[in-house]
Structure 1
Amino acid sequence: MTRRRILSIVFLSIVLIPITAILYHRFTAAISSLGKSSIVHMANPSSPPVIVVGAGLAGLSATYSALQAGAPAVRLLERAPKPGGNSIKASSGINGAPTRYQNAAKYGVDQSFWDDTVRSAGTRLRAESVTEAVRSHRQSLISTLTGHSAAAIDFLVDLGVDLSVVAQLGGHSKPRTHRGAGKTPPGAAIVTTLLNKLKEQHANRFELLTGAEVTKLLTEAERVTGVEYRTATTDTETNATTTTTHTLHGPVVFTTGGFGGDTHGLLAKYRPDLAGLPSTNDPRPGAHTLLSAVGARLVDMESVQVHPTGFVDPANPSARVKFLAAEMLRGEGAVLLYKGKRFVNELDTRERVSEAVMKLLSVEEGGLRQWDVQILLDPGATEAAAGHVGFYLWKGLLQKKKVKELDETTRQTLLEYAAAVRGEVKDPFGRVAFGHWRLGTEEGSGIDEDAEVCIGRVTPIVHFTMGGAVFNERAQVLASEIGEEAKPIQGLWAAGEITGGIHGDNRLGGSSLLECVVFGRIAGEQAAKAALEGKA
């Protein structure tokens, strides 16, 4: 089988990530056309390429940026059988402020993104014990993230990504999380668009190789000069697998993601207390040790985000990898219930909502530690989140019920919540934004017993790792501790979840895609400059 045909199959496999039955057919056509020329010859084989390790959103952003900056070529290495990583699963959106899509007339010009991110970072940034040097380092990363966020939205929109819908997620003081108006989730929309643009605009300088696992960073005179990676081929007649080791020289951008799926490796090492929790991440080892081997320092490795709402599939409740119940569901008005009653401000930070859930009684199911919490959307929230809800209903993760079919405790809870939405009473949990909830919001109308709601079971899940390689606002990986005098490792950049120092104790929803775009673009541009200057 030829390499070109292998990549055709790889790109086609993206559609195997179920989005909706309808979207399956759309993605088949789009990804099929991508696969036809995904492996190409380099324009100038004698020039050192920029090497990007990891084909999630950070890697794709770095690749596109490097090519736009004039890199002679980019080789994108992905260890999985298909590109997209966990980025393609992202369902809530991407943050940006201030942008053309925010409602400034209603909410004012958004100037609080930096403050919200600092607040979310918690003690790792604001504790009295934090030195001024550490605080300054973290703040510079946050300033880069938030200060470049509007440009990141513009970049994606100009490529053709629809990000016209804006919602308010937990921990945010204003609506600033962007997604499209259609049925395609934002992660899939962004990843697919970038892959298309790489093919259309840079086919003669771009090469994607899947099934390529980087095993070592090559160094010379304290500079990273390339990578060692291995590929495996299987003989179709004998079914024998042959592993081949390759070397590739050039400046390196590392974008391999976090370690949330490395249950028995880095996660067990740094957070053994999270053993037994399901996860949203595919089970694969973290790549952090490859960076440590060339002197990179790691920071915040104990800071692991547990997302409060992962769907428990009624057909397979003990599945270890779960679909995320997107935070935008709560942003659009959904409530969380335990035995029919609300127990938390659904728009608090992920950390606090998760803590509130985990104080409740847990159950053991198939070796997993899970909770029996319900998420409920009224008709207004359901319509506002129609693209997501359609998929969740199709997968059986949400079910439709009429209000009159709910138990008396839940119906009473909905009456009380509607009063808070109408502004008649203050919400007892401090919620002040209610999205598009409209059930019972007409004064004196009560709750329509025949109204249809969507309800499903959710549980906390390991979702994101805030810790990773220490780096700076230029995306250079550092051989110094955070806050110390910066000692960049020459020839090495990083972006996305592999890095640490931005989010501190807690990451705001919508900022993972954002950091991939912001720092991926910076890393790609910087690596391209190094390649053009012959510093490889």
Structure 2
Amino acid sequence: MTRRRILPIVFISVLIAISAVLYHKITLSIPFPIFSRVTMMTAPNPPPVIVVGAGLAGLSAAFAALQSGAASVRLLERNAKPGGNSIKASSGINGAPTRFQNAAKYGTDRSFWDDTVRSAGSALHTSTVAEPARKHRETLISALTNRSAAAIDFLVDDLGIDLSVVSQLGGHSLPRTHRGAGKTPPGAAIVTTLLAKIKELGGDRFQLMTDCEVTRLLVTDDHGPRVTGVEYRKLKALSSDSGTQQLHGPVVFTTGGFAGDAHGLLATYRPDLGGLPSTNDPRPGTHALLAEVGARLVDMDRVQIHPTGFVDPATTRARLKFLAAEMLRGEGAVLLHKGKRFVDELGTREKVSAAIMALPEAEAEESAGPAGEGDGKDKDGEEEAVRQWDVRLLLDPGACEAAQAHVGFYLWKGLLRKVKVRELDEVTKATLREYSSVVKGEKPDEFGRTAFGQWRLAAEDLDGEGDVEVCVGRVTPIVHFTMGGAVFNERAQILRSDLGEEEKPIEGLWGAGEITGGLHGDNRLGGSSLLECVVFGRIAGEQAARLRG
């Protein structure tokens, strides 16, 4: 190559090198804050996933969103503490088939879907329900039951929660309701562990905001409704924080049902239940917030009455009552009216409640007693009469031992008491002799009960001095759960279309737990409430985390 050709090449190379050095110096000389602002303008931080409601559904959604790569999660809770009604759950969580079930005795559990469909009742009757609506419900049930084993694995393997004890609740064809072997009830064990794991996983990407009430959902309507965030107010705000504030991002709505909204939604949809006590704290339902952005509501008149809420002898008129966990009957307990059994205690909640409510109500003077927390007031502030029944829940030593953690708490609260069998009246003794012979297989049960838990009281234990102790408490039906709520699909999207119609999801909005409707139909199986929170909460969190922009 000639010298004439080489010189231009060398000259250009030198210019490139000098330019690179100068560019490098200029770049380094730019102050960091300016560089940061440039970066933020070109690549803005993605919005947080907003979860409304800190029960198990909300916590499951928050954890799943963080796992799925959400930049951050903001969990808004109206109450001063997280947990909602989930933290009170005492019977367990359903799952099938799982490694904790006794497959050697019962075979592989393939009947969860069938039991759930059967429990749903008229909502799935082919003769009265249009096929598209029925298919929609069946799809939701399939998502719940098919993902149930994975939900148990997630709680046990990923979170380290003990769910090794399995019992059979009402409406189930075999044992599939899981709880731990320790003293902590399953709801509290799951909620507290999951919250700790969320804080560990999320770090400063997670913020729990308690005493925050969402007042409306923020919406744009450019191409159909799209939820873009929430407006909320602080219930215990300083003067400088008064008024409403806004938070922008995709929203997962998990605020629960309306079983405690005695003078609002409950009075609107089920006025016939007026005066019944409840397991739910008195608070208004939040369904109107979803309806305002186009969500359709379904099954709002379908309200579950739990057959056994304890009547505390110290405060018999209290409307807010402790649940007598269904697992007590699952482990063998019986229900007695004037010393006699009157129902298969492991029928669905709907059937057992109906059997109790067919009995005469307790007289007004029987319900009198000192006032207590949760005494009912009507909308004008006047005291309401409390409707309740006089039914006894009785556990033998085997059932007491199997449910030891629960029984110990109920004894401490004065809701159960220990009684020697010699102190029982003769009608009750005769009933227990009969029942014991049924448990031993000597005769079929006249009410159709086929599973007896851990009952081991024998007829001979009731004879003579009768020093064997049983546990007895008074129970009554209570408003417990609302099956109605916002129409949603198996992807946990809230819909502005009715069941069976062409799906019209509301973009940016998901839901899980008791706020949703269409899954349970006429009746919810015990143990499926915690399950739906985990299954659909996780789905909602994953979906919300994937939304960008």
Structure 2 length-normalised TM: 0.86
State the match for 1:67 in structure 2.
Answer: 66
State the match for 2:511 in structure 1.
Answer: 494
What do the CA deviations read for 1:157-210 (whole angstroms, capped 9, x no partner)? 020111000000000001000000000000000000001101222112110000
Question: In structure 1, which of residues 521, 525, 534 is the aligned counterpart of residue 538 of structure 2?
Answer: 521
Q: 1:428, 1:417 → 2: CA distance?
A: 10
What do the CA deviations read for 1:260-319 (whole angstroms, capped 9, x no partner)? 000000000000000000000010100000000000000000000000000000000011
Residue 431 of structure 2 corresponds to residue 428 of structure 1: no
Q: Which amino acid aligns with 2:437?
A: A
Instruction: Name the stretch that deviates more: 70-79 or 357-366.
Output: 357-366
Q: Which amino acid aligns with 2:160?
A: G
Would the alpha carbon gap of residues 387 and 241 (structure 1) be closer, same or farther in structure 2, given more than 3 Å must change? Answer: farther
Instruction: Name the stretch that deviates more: 395-404 or 200-209.
Output: 200-209
State the match for 2:309 in structure 1.
Answer: 310
State the match for 1:7 in structure 2.
Answer: none
- State the shift of 1:232 in Å: 3.4
Residue 470 of structure 2 corresponds to residue 467 of structure 1: no
Contact 2:310–2:323 (CA under 8 A) maintained in structure 1: yes
State the match for 1:169 in structure 2.
Answer: 169
Structure 1 unpaired stretches of 5+? 1-43
Q: 1:497, 1:398 → 2: CA distance?
A: 30
Q: Which amino acid aligns with 2:530?
A: L
Contact 1:280–1:321 (CA under 8 A) maintained in structure 2: yes
Q: 1:249, 1:110 → 2: CA distance?
A: 44
Would the alpha carbon gap of residues 447 and 215 (structure 1) be closer, same or farther in structure 2, given more than 3 Å must change? Answer: farther
Contact 2:156–2:163 (CA under 8 A) maintained in structure 1: yes
Contact 2:276–2:479 (CA under 8 A) maintained in structure 1: yes
Contact 2:461–2:468 (CA under 8 A) maintained in structure 1: no
Q: Which amino acid aligns with 1:210?
A: T
Question: In structure 2, which of residues 220, 227, 230 is the aligned counterpart of residue 227 of structure 1?
Answer: 230
Residue 357 of structure 2 corresponds to residue 340 of structure 1: no
Contact 2:119–2:171 (CA under 8 A) maintained in structure 1: yes
Return the index of the structure with the highest Cα Rg.
Answer: 2
Q: Which amino acid aligns with 2:398?
A: G
Q: 2:235, 2:200 → 1: CA distance?
A: 29
Q: Which amino acid aligns with 1:500?
A: G
Q: 2:164, 2:492 → 1: CA distance?
A: 29
**Other structure's SS at 2:235 match:** strand
State the match for 1:380 in structure 2.
Answer: 398
1:437-516 superposed matches below 5 A: 437-440=455-458, 449-516=466-533
- State the shift of 1:46 in Å: 3.1
Q: 2:128, 2:461 → 1: CA distance?
A: 54
- State the shift of 1:152 in Å: 0.3
Contact 1:232–1:241 (CA under 8 A) maintained in structure 2: no
Q: 2:522, 2:500 → 1: CA distance?
A: 17
- State the shift of 1:243 in Å: 3.0
Q: 1:83, 1:244 → 2: CA distance?
A: 23
State the match for 1:209 in structure 2.
Answer: 209
What do the CA deviations read for 1:380-431 (whole angstroms, capped 9, x no partner)? 0000000000000000000000000110100111100000000000011000
- State the shift of 1:218 in Å: 0.3
Calculate the aligned-residue CA RMSD, in Å.
1.4
State the match for 1:22 in structure 2.
Answer: none
**Other structure's SS at 1:371 match:** coil
State the match for 2:287 in structure 1.
Answer: 288
- State the shift of 1:480 in Å: 0.3
Q: 1:49, 1:87 → 2: CA distance?
A: 24
- Percent sequence identity over matched residues? 73
Would the alpha carbon gap of residues 445 and 317 (structure 1) be closer, same or farther in structure 2, given more than 3 Å must change? Answer: closer
The runs of at least 4 aligned residues of structure 1 exceeding 4 Å deviation read 444-448
**Other structure's SS at 1:484 match:** coil
- State the shift of 1:47 in Å: 2.1
- State the shift of 1:244 in Å: 2.6
Q: Which amino acid aligns with 2:229?
A: G
Residue 26 of structure 2 corresponds to residue 58 of structure 1: no
Q: 1:143, 1:378 → 2: CA distance?
A: 37
Q: Which amino acid aligns with 1:494?
A: G
Q: 1:56, 1:388 → 2: CA distance?
A: 21
Q: Which amino acid aligns with 1:455?
A: V
Structure 1 length-normalised TM: 0.89
Q: 1:164, 1:476 → 2: CA distance?
A: 33
Q: 2:321, 2:145 → 1: CA distance?
A: 30
Contact 1:232–1:242 (CA under 8 A) maintained in structure 2: no
